[in-house]
Amino acid sequence: MVLKRLKKIRKGNRRITADTALRLSKYFWNSAKFWLDIQDDFDIEEEKKSKEVELKAIKHYENKNIA
């Protein structure tokens, strides 16, 4: 069961969920947050790629009220 889950994650067919993060953290003696942070980083990079044109069109905020 665990190997099946890890294979799906590796292939990009499954996310690292809180449940999986807890299991990995127990096995590897690290934190669940470590695993969830890896998933977050992956999600952000994938979204950045898919929204590249849209994101480039967004203008930067300028605060003109600074004295």
Nearest Cα residue to 21 out of 1, 41, 42, 37: 37
Tens digits of per-residue pLDDT, 7-48?
A: 999 998 999 999 999 999 999 999 999 999 999 999 999 999
Reported pTM: 0.77
Amino acid 49: pLDDT: 96
- What domains can you pick out in the chain, each with its CATH number? 2-56 (1.10.260.40)
Measured CA to CA, the distance from residue 65 to residue 7 in angstroms comes to 53
Task: Give the C-alpha separation, 61 to 1, whole Å.
Answer: 48
22 Cβ neighbours under 8 A, 6+ residues apart? 32
